[in-house]
Chain A
């Protein structure tokens, strides 16, 4: 068993990589009632072109299949696994992102019993033609729910604008048409390839004994046999650095238009500390340019171009990366003009140490705040680990940054040719 202590944060993380390749992490949280566990595979909506385990031919699978698989794993011959959890006083859930599929539960009751249920249901797939067909109706309604959601549409519209080929531009749930093509055989093929323990992380956080949990998981895994672990071959087409489309307008039944501006990262190939530094730097740059205490935010708010929905973020994973900023606005075109001028002007200025320090303090405080949340810790730790980063490095990395690092990303990331805009506008009747 390994152990890593973060004195400054008063946290100790226990971990072990099992023989089958599964990585297990346990963080003891004294004083909490709840234990939260996630079992996550490094497999999401972008992994649609790959070489199935043990085969020589590469395949392309229907859009939305990772999310479909997530739904279907809950169904077993004996019924629905949700029910098993709730009988054991736990609430279970799952979600699919671009790069990950996570299965999780939280409980204030018996942790080991629920942990067994979690591990076993994810490792024992049961797909039949009949249950696959039935799910298409439910997911169809989920897709429609998102179709009616203007925030989701503008977010995805922006990503679509950025990418020529990268599958990050495909809606995570797919379309009603694409999921119609999913069969039990394609589900098994994806499952066999991506749900090997060596492609997965189990994270447990709560008022538990770490050693006890690690032994328990080891015991569970030692009773199962898995194929030899093999590296997964995924295929992505080359993605040009410039955006595919500079603007898009979606008409919907809304009263307030929405407008988001995005910048596409030209070379999103970083990993580990380098990726963390870059992510934190771009986020600091955004904070300094458009944070609530910035002159730009004040001006935009005063001019009535933004309201409290205004937000921004930068995210990067292997193969894609982008920043986005925006929100509800009555004058989307004016907002775009103002924001792009503000970015250009900011690039010309020298960064003041004061505003750099302030932004950094704010970010460190926000990070400490998120550590109150077991959900945040488990989910973010896993995301970081899949990208070879360590969540608990965030504060030291923040502290190691200089104003000049931010100046650098301002020039390299916020380029005119990397900018794109997506708006949701009121439908003309």
Chain B
């Protein structure tokens, strides 16, 4: 048994991942529903995630469903959306107290299992389609969610960067879909799309807690009944598709009445999770801007006092690195210059031993910390499903350990700036009106 006791069982239509551990006071269920992101379905799929968590056949309104959850000692249920590479993944997460910590022992686990299966397989219907009033309410919520991105300037600038950078690729799509399409979706259309999801999407269920694998498998068999014609479409990532080559850096400016300018820069790396040099890319990102010892933090913040935050992160399945920093609008040129210089430094091999070792230690630390949390653990394991790989946590850690400075320099040379998006500030935001 390794660091994580992960067992994977393929049942008809669903892959069950069980992790037996006594670390937690709860049992967590994470159901991942994966399909390629595309223009045609992006908004429907987003809306579906809202509708599914708003009622089931037995609990046909949000209020009834929430009461049932409260009665299960405040079991939580959330459906979330995320983009993993060019996939739009719906994650339905449920967490329920481990009965052994309750004063009155109550059989909450089986009930929770049943409830989760109902959320997926027995939604609240009227005349064979989703209930009209649920769809109507959730459309409003979804629209508000899309609009709220604009109000959070960091998220807004990030969204705009992706739209510009991946203009002609599905990755430019917002995971919540397009606001102007929401109203046009009918309950019937949404239900037809739901049937496609149930019939074709890749489903993975993670169960984490003080459980027994055999018992969980039996419970899945008992509660999750799929249609006979279910047939997972095997969409592995379109790994062979050539990433765009960059001829010149795109520079986009937009002005809004904000106090702080938001600088976002997108790089293509030509490396994804399944590649050999994926670990080198991780170390590159760590040296560049992943931590508080990274070149961006040290140079943009500590040396020049230009920003409170200056950092980079990477997307494992699209193979991108994104830099973000909040700066004075007037400092744009200076900040961009410093950020570019730091990339050049790495390309030229100017990485100290301390920086290099520190980065590896921090990445190692980060993954161990991430898997202390049930959701973090499921996310780390799910990378394998998305990439069609089979890497254990130990292999992952060894991969990081084996990276050399030369590997980092090599990958740094592949990393290429594609687009800069700058949200300029006009500076009078938030005046109070008395």
A residues in contact (CB < 8 Å) with B: 8-10, 29-34, 80, 82-83, 86-92, 106-109, 134-135, 137-139, 141-142, 144-145, 147-150, 153, 157, 248-256, 291-295, 297-298, 301-302, 304, 307-309, 328, 330, 358-359, 361-366, 368-369, 371-374, 399, 427
Contact = CB atoms under 8 A, between A and B. Distances in A.
A411 B354 CA distance: 61
Given A145-B326, A250-B430, A256-B148, A108 B74 contact: no
Contacts, number: 217
B150 A87 contact: no
B25 interface: yes
Interface string B187-206: 00000000000000000000
B380 to A, nearest CB: 12
Given A254-B150, A255-B148, A372-B374, 18 more contacts: A10-B101, A33-B372, A86-B361, A89-B364, A108-B364, A135-B305, A145-B326, A147-B260, A148-B429, A149-B152, A150-B152, A251-B431, A253-B256, A301-B141, A358-B71, A361-B70, A362-B73, A365-B96
Contact of B153 (A138, A148, A248): A148
Contact of A361 (B74, B133, B371): B74
A147 B429 CA distance: 8
Contact of B103 (A8, A106, A304): A8
Contacts of B432: 157, 248-251
B308 A253 contact: no
Contacts of B102: 364
A297 B364 contact: no
B97 interface: yes
23 contacts: A32-B23, A32-B372, A86-B291, A86-B361, A87-B293, A91-B291, A134-B305, A135-B305, A141-B328, A145-B260, A147-B259, A149-B153, A153-B430, A249-B433, A251-B430, A251-B431, A252-B429, A298-B63, A358-B70, A359-B70, A362-B70, A368-B73, A368-B97
Contacts of B141: 301, 307-308
A8 B434 CA distance: 52
Nearest to B140: A304
B18 interface: no
Nearest to A157: B432
A34 to B, nearest CB: 5
A9 B305 contact: no
Contact of A255 (B61, B150, B301, B364): B150
B327 A141 contact: yes
Interface of B: 3, 21-26, 61-63, 66-67, 69-76, 95-98, 101-103, 133, 137, 140-141, 144-145, 147-148, 150-153, 256-260, 291-293, 301-302, 305-309, 326-328, 354, 357-358, 361-362, 364-366, 368-369, 371-374, 425, 429-434
Given A86-B358, A250-B430, A298-B62, A372 B24 contact: yes
A368 B302 contact: no
A141 B69 contact: no
Contacts of A147: 259-260, 429-430
A372 B293 contact: no
Contacts of B103: 8, 399
A80 B302 contact: yes
B75 A144 contact: no
Nearest to A90: B365
B365 A108 contact: yes
A298 B61 CA distance: 9
Nearest to B144: A307
Given A33-B369, A302-B137, A364 B73 contact: yes
A86 B70 CA distance: 42
Nearest to B73: A365
Contact of B365 (A107, A251, A368): A107
A251 B63 contact: no
A9 B71 CA distance: 20
B49 to A, nearest CB: 11
Contacts of B66: 291-293, 297
